[in-house]
């Protein structure tokens, strides 16, 4: 074994319906002591370099292109079946604080062994570990393909969690939208839209992966497991449906935002313009009687000033009345 | 029987062409007294928890994944065929006051028995119950698959009702739009659009369910029932067509709303600006003769004032004429 | 026969290559005197209720679901083949004054008999009746399937007429758009768009009907008739193409309308604002020399007034020149 | 022969690898002197009425529906294969001055004879005629299907010319857009968009025609000719690609036009409004000191006037500074 | 050999697992000294005319249509399989300074020989040349199809580089967008959008080329190479995904740009209009007391002036307060 791999970074679980055992990776490789009926789960959960992955996968005779794929970030979820094993790639998605985090997960499996390789520490497998402790669970009773199902199920359940959180956030913003629309809100909505775009990109191809696992009858999948996979397939479809729905809702909210901003602005400009429009003719009249012509009979009349004021008030009221009748405000 | 299930929450109907009988669920389970020719309809119509559903479905040997699905809200309509029975999931939709209500309906059926499980009290099955009372009805003469058809038909008819109501509401808003466009109207239109989005999401997958019932020839469906199912299929298609049409109408109305709001606003701003534009040069003239220069010959002329007024009127008329000729108002 | 059906509301034509005969519906039913080589066309052309349709179709053993479909308005065009006959549903479309009218047409046919049931008085069959009078016409020489073709051809020709009229109307509006864009025009364009939406909805599924008549080889259609049906199929495709084209043209016109309205409005506002902007500084200057300070040396200067006027003119010209150079008007 | 057809309107060419002969149509029909190895090309190039086409095509036993199709304008490109010959319809497209002209071309062909019928005088066949003169050309060495290929190739080459011209025109407009955006430009862009719409409508179905000629293996097409047809197919695809690209470019240009117009307008309005905003408070101050109150101490102060002017200048500068700092102009 | 071809413009490499040799093109043609186990790579990397290409490809018996295709610019990527060899066309894409450069690459290959013909000097093959020097590399151990794979892999890797650079540029613009939105930025974004349009057009058809190489099992591709090609296929899909994502991001950025520009403009106009609106009534009041009526009691009052000023300040504050409360600024 290369010294760069520490045993405690690799989790090796051997189990069957009767017993479950956690052993050292190096012990496992040395002794190959898994009996026929055992399922072997090897979980590598650490940032990887080529050498480490090579070392770990060497004993299993994995195609070099797959190792390249495992090391690549930003892979598209896919299933590849080789003669001796199948290779499945998908994304674990979760909220890391306020940001969505995407983690590549590679699953290599044959009828007995399942190897999972994640990008970082941490995973969504806690429920699997718990269920493995229960001897009567479907998982413990099942074969390697049931473990693969359980892993995919856990991943897709995490998608649901993410989508629910996102849905709640969007709903909360909808209320904000009605109370105080502002530019920051639009930026947030755009961020959600972008999140949904990436989510769609990550989840959509997984649908095809499941479809192939169900319909192409790869030898690694037993017939009993197909209904379970179909269930995962349905869940993926619901995720995609939800994403679609949220995207349409967001588009609607953005349109509403723009309408309401522009509506508000129009209202303000209208009121301001109406105020100006009322005063401009009055100011003109005042201007007229501020002219210094020597012969302006109105100026000398005792009633000139009050009549002018009354006339101005009358004109103002007339305009207000006219604007009101036209429903301009 | 678990004590948590009260017999009166479960409706058990046994019928054939000659007789119809309503019995207790517990009696039915105990005595299993349905003859070969009987159709058995078990209708569970209550909010459920896992234990209850388990208890009810245990005697029928239902797959655990289905029970999970029944308990889940927000399922996508689907059909799953197992060896002994088929599982169908769809939505009942109706107006609950002003809001659209969605209720999950799970249908489990084999050649003799139909189990329906709804979310809440109340359903759309009243016409079915009525027709069950008529010994000569197709329903009474038919087998379990005809009952399944009748249930689906009732559900899709309820879709039509919902769509018709929604169509009337949209039409009513269209008239409002021409009379007094306002922001609230836009919010209402958006709500309708969202309703149509959810309706589409609920109805669209049902099309595939029916298609599979027609084309995959599951053993639960007899050949005689296929034309009836095809009829339901056509109706679903018409629903989807209507939804599409309403969506396009709504989009058109929203565009019209925005155009008409912006048109109205433009008209107002134009009139107001024209008023200002006419008075501003006049005010300038008044300002000129309000200057206090000692040597302003016009001021001392007896005709200065009237001529200025006439000049102002002339300028105002000229501008009005110019704006009119340019068709600015 | 039920007394509610009057013979003269039902047109019964028996014809073959040699002779053609119009007889009473009741006579036809009583005597069943059509020879093997005859084609029988029964045309029911009246508003219907269930009882009448039942009475008319009873002698032919029609499935109850079909009768339901015939009575339903707003059916989606479709073809259904049963053991003994085929059922085809489509829309007759024509201009009723300024409005588009849609009329359901149900066609039931086997190898010898064609029954057509329309919603209202009036139809598009006049050319068919004329051609039936000509013994050497393809129609007279043909069998029942050729009559079905002739009916479909007449219906699709009517679509062409409608689309041509609509196309002319749209073209006429295009010219209006350039001369005097206004809100009413937009409402009219929206009406056309809605018409095209409904037309598309009515014509699109017919394409599938024809495709099935051509490719599924129903026993009612002889091989010789297939090229004719293919011709109708091509025509339907051209209709759909035209609808698409008109829709894109309309969208373009609406965009142009909005651009041109907004352009016009911008131009007006710009001119008005420029006028204000020129006068506001001048008014300020006038205001300055209208101040009543006791020590304002310019006021007492003999050249104060004319120089001020010249200064104002100079400023105005400078601004006009600046705006012109900036191409602001 | 009908006297309405003049021989010189019909071009009849008989050729094989060794010799080429141009003869009268009437001679050809009378003598039927084409040897087995000859290819016969009959090119009718004149506005047609039913009688003429009937007369020309009668000797070849053409289906009446095809004759109808040939006479119809606005046909959708299509291929129809009959027992004895194939019928192909497509569009010749070229610039007629500044406008795009569309001309229907009907091609009837079997293994030996090719009949082409165009709408008007003039065609795109000059290169074909030239190549026919060269005994060693592929065309002269080939059979009737190679002639069909050559005709289609010439037509599609003409599409390329049209698209190239259109591309150049669009590019030229792009530059105009940056220099002086105006309403006329938008009208021109819309015209191009419409041209592309019609081009797409004319070219798109031809792709299917070629696909069927390649894949359905009609007996009129020999295996050697398939690579040539595949070449035409690729060219059609490139045409469609170009159309798509031009449409997207045009949409982008229109969006840019609208943005730049609205940007320009905003800039103008902003500058004008800033000018007004600076002068309005100054005018107010002038107005204050223009009031005629008897007791206004500032008025009598010797420094009142200059201080006011300085104050005004200060306020103006302050506002300009504030606007500048806010980057408002 | 034609004298127009200089040997040093054509790179001929013969290699197998054991040895690698670079020889003159003319030598190669003259001696045909490649052994069975050798792979021959002929790389032509120069601007071409018909004669040169003819001369080079003559010894290999290439179909004239292919030579035409090689000479044509703006080809659509495609794969054509002939009896003796396969022809593949694709684009090399790289940044040439700030502009994207597209270079046609034609690949002709059979089981032993690979001929690559590029448009210009320079290529993306440096890594291939390096790997050819390593005797143990997969490439050296492989056959001609592995060389084809290596070439396609190098080309698609270059796509990744281009997309990454473009992605970085877009990200950089996003930040600019928030700091200082302006018209130039929009022009740049449009340029990126156009680049993505052309990239999509160049890459999308390559997906089909690879799909056919994988699924149609052309004889030139050995089974061992298929996983490698599938890897390239996945990479192409990721490129297309990235393009889609960038396009959506760009659309979002453009929408944001427009919103933020319009938001900014609205804010400015609002502030300016509010300033005007506050001063216009005040100016009116000043105008009133600037009137020259002889009997205006306020004028003679000692408190007239200060009270008027106080009134004006009060009105101004009231309006500011009102606008503030309405959240207008």
Which of A99-108, B52-61, E211-220 shows the lowest mean pLDDT across its residues? B52-61
* Interface contact D197-C248, CB threshold 8 A: yes
Distance of CA A162 to the CA centre of its chain: 6
Rg (alpha carbons) of chain E, rounded to whole number: 35
- Chains within contact range of chain C (3+ C-beta pairs < 8 Å): B, D
Which of A236-240, C182-186, D139-143 shows the lowest mean pLDDT across its residues? C182-186
Last residue of a domain, one of C260, C292, C309: C260
B contacts of C299 (beta carbons < 8 Å): 291-294
Of E212, E196, E263, E232, the residue nearest E88 (C-alpha): E212
pLDDT at E204 exceeding the cut of 70 = yes
D contacts of C288 (beta carbons < 8 Å): 286, 309, 312
Same domain for B240 and B282: no
Same domain for B161 and B66: yes
A306 Cα to chain E: minimum distance (Å): 8
- Number of B/C CB contacts below 8 angstroms equals 105
Provide, rounded to the nearest whole percent, the portion of chain E with pLDDT above 70. 95
Of D274, D268, D273, D263, the residue nearest D322 (C-alpha): D274
A294 Cα to chain B: minimum distance (Å): 5
H helix or E strand, kind and range, residue E185: helix E183-215
**Residue C65, both tokens:** 């679901």
pLDDT at C3 exceeding the cut of 60 = no
* Interface contact C299-B280, CB threshold 8 A: no
- pLDDT tens-digit profile of C224-243? 888 889 889 989 998 998 99
| Within-domain flag for B179 | yes
Q: How many domains does chain B divide into?
A: 2
Of A289, B291, A284, A306, the residue nearest E298 (C-alpha): A306
Alpha helices in chain C, H assignment, sequence order: 25-31, 50-57, 64-71, 126-132, 138-141, 144-179, 183-215, 226-289, 297-300, 304-325
- Quick check: helix, strand or coil at residue B83? coil
**Domain of A194: which CATH number?**
3.30.460.20
H helices, E strands: number in chain B: 10, 7
Cα separations in angstroms, A153 against A45, A234, B156: 19, 11, 33
* Interface contact D183-C263, CB threshold 8 A: yes
pLDDT: which is higher, C200 or C120: C200
Q: Which candidate in C245, C249, C291 is best for mutational testing of the D interface (most D CBs within 10 A)? A: C291
pTM of the model as a whole: 0.79
Last residue of a domain, one of E236, E260, E284: E260
Same domain for B304 and B215: no
A contacts of B190 (beta carbons < 8 Å): 252, 256
Query: What CA–CA distance (Å, rounded) separates B106 from B119?
Result: 9
Of residues D248, D270, D294, nearest to E268 (C-beta): D270
Task: Read off the pLDDT of each residue in E225-251 and give the average, rounded to a whole number.
Answer: 90
* Interface contact D328-E283, CB threshold 8 A: no
pLDDT at B103 exceeding the cut of 80 = yes
Q: CB-hemisphere CA count at 13 Å for C242? A: 21
CA of C265: which chain B residue's CA is closest? Answer: B266
Which residue bears the tokens 């005004």? D312
pLDDT at B206 exceeding the cut of 90 = yes
CA of A284: which chain B residue's CA is closest? Answer: B283
**Residue E312, both tokens:** 């004006």
- Quick check: helix, strand or coil at residue E62? coil
β-sheet bridge partners, residue B95: B100
Of residues E234, E255, E284, nearest to A283 (C-beta): E284
Of residues C265, C283, C298, nearest to B287 (C-beta): C283
Which of A115-129, B88-102, D226-240 shows the lowest mean pLDDT across its residues? A115-129
H helix or E strand, kind and range, residue C95: strand C86-96
pLDDT at D163 exceeding the cut of 60 = yes
Residue A225 carries which DSSP code? Answer: G
Which of E34-43, E54-63, E242-251 shows the lowest mean pLDDT across its residues? E54-63
Same domain for B283 and B252: no
Output the pLDDT for position D192.
Answer: 92
Under the banding of pLDDT at 50, 70 and 90, the label for residue E3 is: very low
pLDDT at C123 exceeding the cut of 80 = no
Q: How are beta strands A113-118 and D39-45 bridged, if at all?
A: unpaired
pLDDT at D34 exceeding the cut of 90 = no
Cα separations in angstroms, C177 against B88, C173, C189, C197: 54, 6, 10, 22
pLDDT at D147 exceeding the cut of 90 = yes
| Within-domain flag for E2 | no
- Quick check: helix, strand or coil at residue B124? coil
Query: What CA–CA distance (Å, rounded) separates A165 from A192?
Result: 11
- Quick check: helix, strand or coil at residue C226? helix
pLDDT at D294 exceeding the cut of 60 = yes
pLDDT at E2 exceeding the cut of 50 = no
Last residue of a domain, one of C232, C260, C288: C260
Query: What CA–CA distance (Å, rounded) separates B276 from B278?
Result: 5
Which of D2-11, E86-95, E298-307 shows the lowest mean pLDDT across its residues? D2-11
Provide, rounded to the nearest whole percent, the portion of chain E with pLDDT above 90. 18
Query: What CA–CA distance (Å, rounded) separates B67 from C124?
Result: 57
pLDDT: which is higher, A30 or D151: D151
B contacts of C291 (beta carbons < 8 Å): 292
Question: What's the maximum distance between 2 C-alpha atoms anywhere in chain B?
Answer: 122
A contacts of B265 (beta carbons < 8 Å): 266, 270
Same domain for D292 and D243: no
C167 backbone dihedrals φ, ψ, rounded to 5°: -60, -40
- Number of A/E CB contacts below 8 angstroms equals 102
The whole-chain average pLDDT of chain D stands at: 85
* Interface contact D227-E69, CB threshold 8 A: no
* Interface contact A286-E287, CB threshold 8 A: yes
Residue partners of D267: CB distance under 8 A and separation at least 6: none
**Could you tell me the residue range of the domain that residue C148 belongs to?**
7-260
Under the banding of pLDDT at 50, 70 and 90, the label for residue D2 is: very low
Query: What CA–CA distance (Å, rounded) separates B125 from B139?
Result: 13
A149 in Cβ contact with A225 (< 8 Å): yes
Pick left, alpha or beta for residue C35 (phi over 0 → left; psi -120 to 50 → alpha; otherwise beta): beta
E230 in Cβ contact with A63 (< 8 Å): no
Q: Which candidate in B163, B246, B274, B291 is best for mutational testing of the C interface (most C CBs within 10 A)? A: B291
ipTM score = 0.72
| Within-domain flag for C75 | yes
CA of B281: which chain A residue's CA is closest? Answer: A284
In which order are the strands placed within the sheet that holds C86-96?
A: C20-23, C10-15, C39-45, C113-118, C99-109, C86-96, C78-81
Same domain for D159 and D85: yes
The whole-chain average pLDDT of chain E stands at: 85
Same domain for B231 and B279: no
Burial category of B172 from C-beta neighbours within 10 Å (exposed 0-12, middle 13-18, buried 19 and up)? exposed
The whole-chain average pLDDT of chain B stands at: 85
D contacts of E296 (beta carbons < 8 Å): 292
B contacts of A274 (beta carbons < 8 Å): 272
| Within-domain flag for E266 | no
Same domain for D252 and D302: no
CA of B251: which chain A residue's CA is closest? Answer: A252
D contacts of E188 (beta carbons < 8 Å): none
D13 backbone dihedrals φ, ψ, rounded to 5°: -120, 125
Output the pLDDT for position C149.
Answer: 93
* Interface contact B286-A281, CB threshold 8 A: no
pLDDT: which is higher, E239 or E261: E239
C131 Cα to chain B: minimum distance (Å): 35
Q: Which candidate in B260, B262, B272 is best for mutational testing of the A interface (most A CBs within 10 A)? A: B272
Under the banding of pLDDT at 50, 70 and 90, the label for residue E88 is: very high
Output the pLDDT for position A7.
Answer: 57
- pLDDT tens-digit profile of D100-115? 888 889 999 988 899 9
Output the pLDDT for position D8.
Answer: 63
D248 Cα to chain C: minimum distance (Å): 14
Of C86, C91, C57, the residue nearest C74 (C-alpha): C91
Same domain for D202 and D106: yes
∠ CA(A109), CA(A113), CA(A119), 5° rounding?
A: 60
A contacts of E296 (beta carbons < 8 Å): 305
| Within-domain flag for B251 | yes
Same domain for D206 and D252: yes
Query: What CA–CA distance (Å, rounded) separates E90 from D44?
Result: 42
| Within-domain flag for C129 | yes
Same domain for C286 and C188: no
- pLDDT tens-digit profile of C253-266? 888 888 888 888 88
Task: Read off the pLDDT of each residue in B256-265 and give the average, rounded to a whole number.
Answer: 82
pLDDT: which is higher, D166 or A294: D166
- Chains within contact range of chain E (3+ C-beta pairs < 8 Å): A, D
**Domain of B282: which CATH number?**
1.20.58.340
A256 in Cβ contact with A148 (< 8 Å): no
Query: What CA–CA distance (Å, rounded) separates A10 from A46?
Result: 8
* Interface contact B227-C286, CB threshold 8 A: no
Of C60, C150, C159, C47, the residue nearest C102 (C-alpha): C159
Q: Which residues of A touch chain B, with CB atoms under 8 Å apart? A: 227-228, 230-231, 234, 237-238, 241, 245, 248-249, 252, 255-256, 259-260, 263, 266, 269-270, 273-274, 276-277, 280-281, 283-284, 287-288, 290-296, 326-328
B225 Cα to chain C: minimum distance (Å): 11
Of C70, C72, C93, the residue nearest C80 (C-alpha): C70
Of residues C183, C268, C290, nearest to B260 (C-beta): C183
CA of D290: which chain E residue's CA is closest? Answer: E290
C33 Cα to chain D: minimum distance (Å): 34
Q: Which residues of chain A have pLDDT under 50?
A: 1-4
* Interface contact A305-E287, CB threshold 8 A: no
* Interface contact B308-A291, CB threshold 8 A: yes
| Within-domain flag for E1 | no
| Within-domain flag for D265 | no
Which long-range contacts does E118-124 make (Cβ < 8 Å, 24+ apart)?
A: E118/E43, E118/E44, E118/E45, E118/E46, E118/E92, E119/E47, E119/E48, E119/E73, E120/E45, E120/E46, E120/E47, E121/E45, E121/E46, E122/E45, E123/E43, E123/E45, E123/E92, E124/E92, E124/E94, E124/E154, E124/E155, E124/E157, E124/E158
Same domain for C66 and C211: yes
Output the pLDDT for position A3.
Answer: 42
C262 Cα to chain B: minimum distance (Å): 9
* Interface contact D197-C230, CB threshold 8 A: no
C263 Cα to chain D: minimum distance (Å): 8
- pLDDT tens-digit profile of C20-67? 888 888 888 777 767 778 899 998 876 667 777 888 887 778 888 888
**Residue B132, both tokens:** 């069950």
Three-class HEC string of E17-41: CCCEEEECHHHHHHHCCCCCCCEEE
E19: number of Cβ within 10 Å: 10
Query: What CA–CA distance (Å, rounded) separates E123 from E105?
Result: 9
Pick left, alpha or beta for residue D32 (phi over 0 → left; psi -120 to 50 → alpha; otherwise beta): left
DSSP letters, B242-277, are HHHHHHHHHHHHHHHHHHHHHHHHHHHHHHHHHHHH
Q: Which residues of E touch chain A, with CB atoms under 8 Å apart? A: 227-228, 230-231, 234, 237-238, 241, 245, 248-249, 252, 255-256, 259-260, 263, 266, 269-270, 273-274, 276-277, 280-281, 283-284, 287-288, 290-296, 326, 328
């Amino acid at each position: 074994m290369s010294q760069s791999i520490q045993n405690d970074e690799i989790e090796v679980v051997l189990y069957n319906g009767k017993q479950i055992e956690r052993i050292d990776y190096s012990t496992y490789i040395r002794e190959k002591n898994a009996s026929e009926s055992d399922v072997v789960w090897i979980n590598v959960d650490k940032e990887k370099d080529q050498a480490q992955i090579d070392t770990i996968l060497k004993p299993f005779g994995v195609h070099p292109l797959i190792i390249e794929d495992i090391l690549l970030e930003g892979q598209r979820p896919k299933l590849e079946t080789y003669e001796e094993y199948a290779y499945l790639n998908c994304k674990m998605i979760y909220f890391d604080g306020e940001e969505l985090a995407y983690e590549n997960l590679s699953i290599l499996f044959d009828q007995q062994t399942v190897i999972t390789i994640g990008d970082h520490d941490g995973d969504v497998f806690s429920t699997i570990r718990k269920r493995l402790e229960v001897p009567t669970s479907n998982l413990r009773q099942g074969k390697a393909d049931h473990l693969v199902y359980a892993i995919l199920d856990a991943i897709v359940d995490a998608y649901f969690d993410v989508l629910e959180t996102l849905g709640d956030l969007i709903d909360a913003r909808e209320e904000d939208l009605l109370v105080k629309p502002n530019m920051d809100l639009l930026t947030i909505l755009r961020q959600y839209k972008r999140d949904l775009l990436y989510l769609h990109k990550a989840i959509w191809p997984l649908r095809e992966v499941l479809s192939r696992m169900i319909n192409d009858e790869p030898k690694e999948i037993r017939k009993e497991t197909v209904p379970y996979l179909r269930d995962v397939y349905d869940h993926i479809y619901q995720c995609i449906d939800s994403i679609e729905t949220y995207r349409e809702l967001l588009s609607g909210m953005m349109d509403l935002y723009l309408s309401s901003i522009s509506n508000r602005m129009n209202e303000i400009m209208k009121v301001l313009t109406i105020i100006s429009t009322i005063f401009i003719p009055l100011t003109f009249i005042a201007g007229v009687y501020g002219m210094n012509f020597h012969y302006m009979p109105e100026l000398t009349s005792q009633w000139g000033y009050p009549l002018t004021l009354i006339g101005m008030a009358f004109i103002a009221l007339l305009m207000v009345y006219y604007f009101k009748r036209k429903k301009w405000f």
